[in-house]
Structure 1
Amino acid sequence: MSWQREGFETHEGEVGVLLADGTEPAPVLFALGSTAYFHESTDWWVYDGTMRRPTVTAMRGRCACGWRGERTVPLDWEEVRSAGRDAYDVSGPEEDWEAHMDDVAARALALPDDVAALLHTLRERLDDLIDDDPVLVLKAVEAMETIVADLGPLAARYIKGDAVPLPRLAEALGTTEKAAGSRLTHYTYLSG
């Protein structure tokens, strides 16, 4: 189970776990038949101590950006087995991740109200049109791609010219540094 917030897709959250010594365990590997392929999992419930897996003692919020919640919540494996993993209360880590996302959103740049309203209206209108006339939607998407191809590289050049540090760019976009760098590179080399 993971958590996402619209507009902040690179900040996927989930339940993180800790061993008794306070460290995070390595991913659990599962052999799939007689192949050389192994499935890897960091789902909290796989660390139950069965089949020589490590047993975790606490959980906390975790985000794909690298953030880890400070608050830890004890994990009661007897209750997990009794209630079932889907019914087990993981609201504490999720609430902490939500607070992290509130902080991310507060530090991200907000679009001007008129631009946000235009984009919202455009999205709603195209959603209405898609069933009736997908050709018109495709035409509108093509027009938007032209705008992106014209303005994306220009914005990327301004950002590079102003030497905006990658951590600041990531914060302003509400994304990770890796995603911000990738986006900047994409628009730098985008041609119309």
Structure 2
Amino acid sequence: MPSVFVQGRPTASYPPFAPEARRGSVRRVTEVGEGVLHRPCRDVTEFGPDLTALIDDMFRTMYVAEGAGLAANQVGVDLRLFVYDCPDDEGVRHVGHIVNPVLEPLDPAARRLLDEGEGCLSVPGAVMAVPRPDRAVVRGLDKDGAPLLVEGTGYFARCLAHETDHVNGQVYLDRLSGRERKAALRQSADRREEVFARRAANAAAFARDRTADGATGA
């Protein structure tokens, strides 16, 4: 089996970071409680350089924040779009973006729920067990408007479901009990400064890498 799938298609080789991240800029990650995270996003209807630039910025922001996925409303943009760079449980890497994603309903008899740890860049530092199906199928479009279908299992299925929740105005805290939600918010309050310090260090490292690339003409 190929070790990397890009936009749902097998790829022979791929760099450690998606090329989009080299072109992008870091944006501020929104946090739970901000309105843009808690309402359904608008469909993308315009395809072109602005959308491409947003995707570039989202990839760079995701890597700096050490995420496996990032939705547009997590950088304050009210559009149905997410990017991802996420392994599945077999160690296969999945990289790409999905515009106007829709999570297909699965036959309950053919799915298995996995109750495993889940975090969110918009709830910095918190990790809680969230039940998710072990398989996910998402349909949408690519940045050029071409139809796209991406399937995932295990941890990658969790990522696809988590990010599709975001564009529908849900955060993973919405799937927790009141007590669990409070515990997650306490975790985040305790770890927030540490998380933000790490993000700042990562942003500086990315900037140095891009400067070095420019100096060598790479």
TM class, shorter-chain normalised? under 0.3
More helix by share: 1
- Which has the bigger relative contact order, CA under 8 A and spacing at least 6? 2
Q: TM-score, normalised by structure 1?
A: 0.24
Please say which structure displays the higher CA radius of gyration: 1
